[in-house]
Amino acid sequence: MKTIPYRYYLPEDKMPKSWYNLRAAMKDKPEPLINPGTGQPVTPDDLRPVFCDELIAQELDNDTAEFPIPQPILDMYRIYRPSPIIRAYRLEEALGTPAHIYYKFEGNNTSGSHKLNSALAQAYYAKAQGMKALTTETGAGQWGTALAEACAAFGLDLTVFMVKGSYNQKPYRKDVMRTFGAKVIASPSDTTNAGRAILANDPNTSGSLGCAISEAVELAVTTPECRYVLGSVLNQVLLHQSVIGLESYAALQEFGEYPDIVIGCAGGGSNLGGLMAPFMRDTLEGKKPDTRFVAVEPASCPSLTRGTFAYDFCDTGKITPMAKMYTLGSGFIPSANHAGGLRYHGMSPMLSKLYHDGYMEAVAYEQTQVFDAATMFARLETILPAPESAHAIRCAVDEALKCRETGEAKNILFGLTGTGYFDMAAYASYLDGTMTDYVPKDGEIMAR
């Protein structure tokens, strides 16, 4: 009987030295980004005013399997990586399930999430290219915090457009960003043409990630020595997040274990894409064809489960390239639910393609269902999960309960992407019984 520790850290010398590009294993590649002005696939020159050169190369490369991680990024990774993989023994016992439940915990850094993995990479490449400043958007605030950390580490100025709903819900999250030197603006704002147009249409809007992206891109392209960076959706971001899956893969190998089910919350797709990368590679190559991959999203912003697989703008202001993805419409404004990081109208083109081709499943949950699981998990495992992560917990619990019914001892792996210490307004709403569930009507979806 093998002994599997409760919490296991890979030795530092086994930390991945390269990122893994899952697109290299895909026989049918994701559709290319389209320049809306020409109707043709984007070229590096199209993207150069917005992104850094090395990130453009990573974004457009469908065939290179591995990208070496530059040493300065590895040096920063070592501050908080490898991150632990944890066997949820107490959760298993409480559920009375024969399933083995593992979770990869990415909350051991100040951002409290997996977002720092890509933030450090993008800030490094900007600095190496001679940039002085970056702009970005943030929903729940985890990406903005991570990028503020990364910009402080590499000496860059940063402006963050934070979705207004989250800006008001999480006043201290913006102060963490400010502590690291970032300027934080509630979006939509009156500081950009895109923001002013959105406010003119709806002065009381709570905003969306699509709105904030429009503002951040506009500022980047009108500011010298400045570039825009994105915390999810794009191929380059899923590439950087592959360290999550590569570490999980190596750790489980130490125990002779392999997941039957891989679960991740899905807003733009970065954490799920990173977690599943080496396991999906095995599936695509025929080594593990029976592994299930489940994307979990909020019922209030159900891109995969109710969206349309079509080309759409990545932002509300329609100034970005168009991506072939599952989308609710670039004009979709989600309700101000408490999972701010999952309030994006679209989904990663790579994950969208895998889902469309039948390699992934998707499920959507309402808020109260998610917080039922979050509070149970916190009491059993002692970690307060972010609302986004709690979607994956909800699904993992449901899958473990199915195993209890069938008697199958399946291995379940999910991503615990971050902590929920800035989400106490959400927990208070749940505990006070004032939390509501909102599911958009069909007429609200694909609004443009």
Contact predicate 142/265, CB 8 Å: no
Query: In angstroms, rounded to a whole number, what is the distance separating the alpha carbons of residues 80 and 108?
Result: 6
Who's near 240: CB < 8 A, 6+ residues apart? 19, 117, 118, 121, 122, 274
Express each pLDDT in 154-183 by its tens digit: 999 999 999 998 898 888 899 999 999 999
Determine the residue type at 147.
Answer: L
Write down the pLDDT at residue 438. 85
Give the pLDDT score at 1: 44
What pLDDT, on the 0 to 100 scale, is given for residue 38? 95
Q: Average of pLDDT values for 397-413?
A: 98
Residue 341 has pLDDT above 70, yes or no: no
Question: What's residue 210's pLDDT?
Answer: 83
Read off the amino acid at residue 310: A
Whether 280 shows a pLDDT value over 90: the answer reads yes
Mean pLDDT of the 318-330 span:
92
CB proximity list for 229: less than 8 A, separation 6 or greater: 51, 55, 119, 122, 123, 126, 134, 135, 136, 147
CA-CA distances (angstroms) from residue 166 to 101, 142, 172, 184, 305? Answer: 31, 11, 11, 12, 24
For position 302, what pLDDT does the model report? 93
pLDDT 10s digits, 49-83: 999 999 999 999 999 999 999 999 999 999 999 99
Beta strand 66-68 pairing with 85-87: unpaired
In the structure, what pLDDT confidence band is assigned to residue 448 with cuts at 50, 70 and 90?
A: very low
Kindly report, residue by residue over 198-210, the tens digit of the pLDDT: 999 999 998 888 8
Mean pLDDT of 126-154: 95
215 alpha-carbon distance from chain centroid: 20
Q: What is the pLDDT of residue 362?
A: 98
Angle between helix 424-432 and 367-381 (nearest 10): 110
- Predicted TM-score of the model (pTM): 0.94
> According to the 3-state scheme, what is the secondary structure of 385-410?
ECHHHHHHHHHHHHHHHHHHHHCCCC
Report pLDDT for 140.
Answer: 78
444 pLDDT above the threshold of 80: no
d(CA 325, CA 424): 33
Task: Give the pLDDT mean for 218-235.
Answer: 95
Highest mean pLDDT among 100-109, 312-321, 340-349: 100-109
Burial environment of residue 383 by CB neighbours within 10 A (0 to 12, 13 to 18, 19 or more): middle
Distances (CA, A) of 51 to 79, 135, 169, 242, 303: 27, 11, 30, 20, 26
| pLDDT score recorded for residue 377 | 98
Residue 408 pLDDT > 50 = yes
Average pLDDT taken over every residue of the chain: 94
Confidence band of 336 (pLDDT split at 50, 70, 90): low
